[in-house]
Amino acid sequence: MELFSNIVMLSLEQATVLPYLSYRLAQDGVKVIRLEHPVYGDPNRMVGEDVLHEERMYSYFLCINAGKMAITLDLSQPEGKELLKDLILKLNVSIFATNQLPRNYKKLGIDYETLKAIKPDIIWVGITGFGPESNEAAYDPILQARSGLMELTGEKGGFPQVLGIPLPDMGTSEHAYGQIMKALYKRAVTGEGSCIYLSMFQSSVSWLTVPITLTATFGKTITRRGNTHEFFAPVSVYETKDGYVYIAVGNDRQWKAMVNLEEFKILDKPEYEKNKGRISDVEKINATINSITRKYTSEYLIKIFNSITVPISKINRIKEVLEDPYVVNNLLFAKDPKTGTEITLAPPPVMTEVLKISNRYMSFPPRFGEHNEEIYGKILGLSKDKISELAQKKII
């Protein structure tokens, strides 16, 4: 039995934060229908390379939109609002989500109270940069800057840096995922819907557990430190004969095991036996380790560190990540029925039953308005002439 097979999500989505959330839910078997303006659509459809030689199906869009359906609707028009009402009722929508600015909620007829009046048990999700009281625009790097994430990222004494992934976007998606699961449980127990507001800024700041406590309570200054760790040493990136490795010594026992290796005996000194002593001389220790690791291949260093159970990893390029045995058997795929193009997608955090049943295949990311005829015709019962009329009027 597919647990979420009867759950329908109508998602007025664009950019990353909400599309990634709905993508995660699609992996659970939720029927996701993305809703876009019939003229403008999701700007991310035109980001990246034109790999399919087709408008609005660029490479960046393909990464997090598999497993969904797509329809268009202009909610600023009265007819559009009526169609939304019909969609919610006839599709039996469980979850409505949007990442529109709050000032647009009532104007588009998508605010919680309006939709609750249509379907009292609806789970309503609004994701914004700074919460429902703010209409301030926000993109992921702006949130990284304001939340302090950039202050913590980069080389010691160097410029602040953005993270390699959009954590404010995807972190908020994950937080929203958890809230939706709680809301679904609440509805199953009480029959009541929920109104969920998520601030991407608050989500981003919530990751700063140690920096905030140490700053606010103990007056510490926490800032970027490159590849080292504030409280443990040695923990850093080290150069090898053929690349780089990251070594993480997490306690004094692991340090003793490391310096017992013939290659690192030069570091077996009384003043380094305790972590405190190593922290106080971390730059010298790291320079010495680097002078040693340069003499050996990454594979050799991994072999000897694994033999003493001290964590180590080669710094993998993305192509190498794809070859990792823990990754290769969990990758997802989607094949375009129109062009035959098959795309490889990142593995899910957990392999769901739905993905197992489909042999890790999801439906191909939908084209702009691809399912208009199916949804408006077969579900809402509109005639082809009516659908054509609505399309000509730019309502769908």
Indicate which residues carry an active-site annotation. Answer: 169
Q: In sequence order, what are the residues at sequence separation of 6 or more whose Cβ sits closer than 8 angstroms to the Cβ of residue 44?
A: 14, 15, 16, 19, 60, 61
Residue 295 in 3-state DSSP? coil
DSSP state at residue 33: E
Contacts of residue 123, defined as CB under 8 A and 6 or more positions apart, other chains included, come to 94, 95, 96, 180, 183, 184, 187, 193, 194, 196
Nearest to 370 by CA among 341, 346, 337: 337
Torsion angle of C-alpha atoms 130, 131, 137, 140, degrees rounded to 10: 50
Counting Cβ atoms within 10 Å, is residue 5 exposed (0-12), middle (13-18) or buried (19+)? Answer: exposed
Contacts of 132 (CB under 8 A, 6+ apart): 102, 126, 197
Number of helices (H) and strands (E) in the chain: give both, helices first. 18, 12
Amino acid occupying residue 334: A
